[in-house]
Structure formats: C-alpha cells, structure tokens
C-alpha cells in the first residue's frame, strides 16, 4: 500500500499518464471509473504551459485538473531523451529550446524541484539524465554519475514536507552501473526509488535482465517504481521481479489507434473479423466501452468518430487497473505464478512476444 497526503493506493499500481494535466480523451470522472488510484503529470510540459504559478494558484495539479486522488510528477528528465535534438546537457542541468515557441528553457535539479513543489504533487521525482539505448558505456556511465549528483542536489533543494521525493536509478543495460547507482542512491534519504532509462529502445529481454540486476539491491521497505514501462507482459514480469509502481502512455495511445487489450490478448478493432461481431470487447469488463459490441466500436473507428478512440482508451485504462488488481489478488492468494503463466500464455499465443515462463522464472519465490 502506498500512502500519500491525498489517500492510499494499493500496490502494485498503474498510473495513467496525464502529461499536461489531462489523460488524453478521458475526463477525471470517467478516469476514476476505470479504477485508477493515482495519476502522473509532467513537470517540463506544465512548466511551459500553463506555467507552474498558474497550477499553484489553482491549488496544485490535482485540484487544477479535477482529480480527487494522489498525483506524481515526473521531473522532466525523460524530455532530455525525447527532445534530444533540442537540448544541451551539462553538469549544471539541461538547456532546452521549447518545442512550443523555441524559447530558451533551463531545467536544473533545483528548478525541477521548485517547479514540482509549485505543482504540489504527492510524489516528486529527482531530475535525471536519460540516454537512448543501446549506447556506449562511457555515455551511460556519464549519465549515471550525473544523475547521482543531480539527485543529491534535488534532495538539498527539496523543502515540502507533504511531498515525497523519489530517486532514480540509471545505468543503461550495464548491470554493474545499475548496481552502483542503486547502492549509492539507497544511502540518500529518498522516500522511494525508481528505475529509469528503460523503454527507450532496449527491447523486452534487456529490460528484464536490467530488472534482475537492479531490483535485488533496492530497499524492501520503500516503493519501487519502474518508469514508462507498460506492455501488459512487461508489467507482469516486473511485478514478479518486485516492482510496485508503473506508468505508461500505451493504454490511451493504443486506444486512439484502435488497439485494445483483453485478458485473452490484444484486439485490433479495425480488422474485418469484427464487422458483425456482437460480443463486447471482454465479458465481465465493467467499462463503458464494453456496453457496446465490437461491431459498433469498429464502425466508430471506420467512420472517424471521436467516440471510438475515447471508448477504446477507457477500456484500455480499465484493463490495466484490472490487470494490476488481478496480480494483487494472486499475490495474496498464493497463486501468483499460475496467474502470470495464464496471462503471458494469452499474449504469447496472440503475438508470439514472449515465452509464458519469462516473467515467472525469477519471481517464483513470491509464492
């Protein structure tokens, strides 16, 4: 259980991504209906628009967007990767050209903390240096060392007692660098620890190997957060490894592009096989999309009606909450390995993405 000033959320938990203080296409009322307990927003984007002062004046990011529960803000470190053509990184910080108007934007550990304190999220993240993978070891090592130094500066700058600050493990695909990063971070008084720098081109097998090298060195009494990773199979594998928290844009991004997730595997709604299919996306799913048939949902996409992406996004967000809830229940019931095998088998049969044993080979001790 993760406890925050705005409520407690059971773990493992999945946070929908509300980059600009909105989860794309889904208002907060319907977002709550999906079962979501916590939402992520982005420091860099909110700093540019509408500005941290505007959000602070509104009472913080949760009140600004009308969300009744806990929130987490990323520090802007991911934008160092995603906006690489527009950023220059030094030991002092990251210097951007705004993707909105080209104006200069400086993001240092101190300013990232100050902005997040204005945004008022329950959990803030240290500024870290994310590099694309695969990368030369020297580049990965430099980014890891810089992230450690930035973490110390973030802690020194942090003032809000009602806001937790998490550290971020870096080190690319180098096991020894990941271990060094974690060993040094755990000596610092962070409230939780995140694994960053993944889902940036490394592939699923490399991600799992990185988790194996990192998670055993993470404190067991503080939250463990895997940033930006969100394929259902990856979540299953990461929970098996001991991860508590996740976020990803996939539920809404895939929903907008007619790909929906079910416990029987992914469904591509534009496929002709759904033209006359009167079944819901998934029997037993309580979401608004499953009040309709696959045939109708397919029609919405082919007719370019905005309701199609909205309903598909709602279904995917609901599926992700049902997925982590099923994993929580399996852990309590001592059936975790069996549930992992069942879920992975469905996705392996659907797309051949992974062996059903992959997620449980290092998680069997949880039984």
139-165 in b/e form (b: 16+ CB < 10 A) is ebbbbbbbbbebbebbbebbeeeebbb
Domain extent listing, the chain = 2-248, 255-333
pLDDT attached to residue 162: 97
Catalytic residue among 27, 205, 247, 351: 247
pLDDT attached to residue 98: 84
pLDDT attached to residue 356: 42
pLDDT attached to residue 100: 86
Mean pLDDT on 285-301: 98
Q: Can 247 be counted among the known catalytic residues?
A: yes
Catalytic residue among 27, 74, 205, 221: 74
Q: Judge whether residue 187 has pLDDT over 60.
A: yes
pTM over 0.85: yes
pLDDT attached to residue 351: 58
pLDDT attached to residue 319: 98
Per residue in 160-182, pLDDT (tens digit) is 999 999 999 999 999 999 999 99
pLDDT attached to residue 203: 84
Q: Can 27 be counted among the known catalytic residues?
A: no
Phi/psi at 10 (nearest 5 deg)?
-70, 150
Per residue in 33-80, pLDDT (tens digit) is 999 999 999 999 999 999 999 999 999 999 999 999 999 999 988 888
Q: Judge whether residue 353 has pLDDT over 80.
A: no
Topology given in CATH for the domain delimited by 2-248: TIM Barrel (3.20.20)
Residue ranges in the chain assigned as alpha helix (H): 28-33, 43-48, 52-57, 61-65, 77-82, 109-119, 137-157, 175-185, 204-214, 232-241, 250-256, 294-302, 307-333, 336-351
List the structure tokens of 290: 């499953």
Q: Judge whether residue 361 has pLDDT over 60.
A: no
CB 116 within 8 A of CB 159: no
Closest by CA to 123, choosing from 78, 63, 163, 64, is 163
């Amino acid at each position: 259980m993760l406890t925050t000033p705005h409520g407690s959320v059971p773990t493992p938990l999945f946070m929908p991504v509300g980059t600009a203080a909105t989860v794309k296409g889904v208002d907060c009322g319907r977002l709550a209906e999906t079962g979501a307990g916590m939402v992520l927003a982005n420091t860099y984007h909110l700093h540019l628009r509408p500005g941290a002062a505007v959000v602070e004046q509104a009472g913080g990011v949760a009140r600004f967007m009308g969300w009744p529960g806990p929130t987490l803000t990323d520090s802007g470190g991911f934008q160092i990767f995603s906006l690489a053509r527009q950023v220059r990184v030094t030991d002092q910080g990251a210097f951007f050209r705004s993707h909105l108007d080209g104006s200069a934007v400086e993001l240092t550990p101190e300013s990232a903390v100050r902005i997040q304190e204005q945004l008022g999220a329950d959990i803030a993240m240290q500024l870290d240096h994310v590099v694309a993978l695969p990368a030369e070891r020297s580049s990965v090592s430099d980014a890891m060392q810089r992230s450690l130094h930035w973490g110390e500066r973030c802690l020194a700058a942090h003032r809000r007692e009602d806001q937790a600050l998490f550290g971020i493990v870096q080190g690319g695909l180098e096991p020894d660098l990941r271990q060094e990063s974690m060993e040094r971070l755990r000596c610092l008084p962070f409230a939780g620890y995140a694994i960053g720098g993944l889902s940036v081109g490394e592939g699923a097998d490399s991600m799992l190997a990185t988790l194996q090298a990192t998670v055993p060195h993470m404190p067991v009494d503080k939250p463990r957060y895997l940033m930006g990773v969100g394929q259902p199979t990856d979540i299953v594998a990461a929970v098996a490894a001991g991860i508590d928290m996740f976020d990803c844009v996939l539920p809404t991004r895939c929903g907008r592009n007619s790909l929906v997730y079910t416990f029987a595997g992914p469904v591509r709604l534009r496929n002709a096989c759904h033209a006359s299919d009167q079944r819901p996306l998934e029997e037993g799913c309580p979401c608004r999309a499953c009040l309709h048939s696959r045939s109708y949902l397919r029609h919405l996409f082919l007719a370019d009606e905005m309701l199609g992406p909205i309903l598909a996004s709602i279904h995917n967000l609901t599926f992700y909450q049902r997925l982590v809830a099923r994993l929580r229940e399996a852990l309590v019931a001592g059936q975790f390995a069996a549930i992992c095998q069942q879920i992975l088998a469905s996705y392996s049969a659907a797309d051949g993405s992974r062996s059903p044993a992959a997620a449980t080979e290092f998680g069997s001790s949880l039984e």
